């Protein structure tokens, strides 16, 4: 199975890089795991609605260019469906059983994801109503993917 995260922007904080590296290493026992960063679109602090739309569209094009037709795509979105860790574990397991060996998670930029990215998604998922920095979300998502494999392998990691 191949799992990747496509995310907008570069990760700068060392502590986040270290945490992601640790969970990535742990995940390598189960899957081929990778994180792909696409450049964020530079924009002024105050944006008009049309400028926001343009930024999201450009970032969306970059995201979509990294997704193959065969990939099952989860897009993280505030309006997505919330899942428990067990739900995500079950869903990943079922996808593998049903022949979806390429699973992609998308974390948009600070403005969210373009409508075209959301339309490409097989599922929109939410990690709750909190607003989290998208760099921190990388760590949280990577840990939850690892936790899913621990749940599926009946590990005591998930208590």
Q: What is the dihedral of CA 76, 133, 143, 152, to 10 degrees?
A: -20
128 in a labelled binding site: no
Nearest-angstrom CA–CA distance, 120 and 51: 22
The whole-angstrom distance between residue 126's C-alpha and the CA centroid of its chain comes to 10
Cα(first)–Cα(last) distance of the chain, in Å?
25
HSE of 62, CA atoms in CB hemisphere, 13 A? 20
**Residue 76, annotated as binding a ligand:** yes
**Which residue numbers belong to the known binding site for S-adenosyl-L-methionine?**
76, 108
**Which residue numbers belong to the known binding site?**
76, 108
């Amino acid at each position: 199975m191949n799992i990747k995260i496509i995310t907008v922007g570069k990760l700068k904080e060392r502590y986040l890089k270290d945490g992601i590296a640790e969970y990535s290493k742990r995940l390598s026992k189960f899957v081929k795991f990778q994180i792909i960063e696409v450049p964020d679109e530079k924009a002024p602090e105050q944006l008009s609605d049309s400028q926001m739309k343009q930024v999201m569209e450009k970032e969306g094009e970059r995201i979509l260019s990294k997704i193959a037709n065969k990939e099952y795509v989860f897009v993280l979105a505030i309006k997505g469906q919330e899942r428990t860790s067990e739900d995500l574990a079950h869903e990943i397991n079922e996808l593998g059983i049903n022949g979806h060996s390429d699973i992609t998670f998308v974390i948009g930029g600070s403005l969210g994801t373009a409508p075209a990215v959301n339309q490409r998604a097989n599922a929109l998922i939410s990690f709750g109503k909190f607003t989290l920095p998208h760099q921190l979300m990388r760590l949280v998502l990577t840990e939850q993917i690892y936790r899913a494999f621990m749940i599926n392998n009946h590990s005591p990691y998930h208590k």
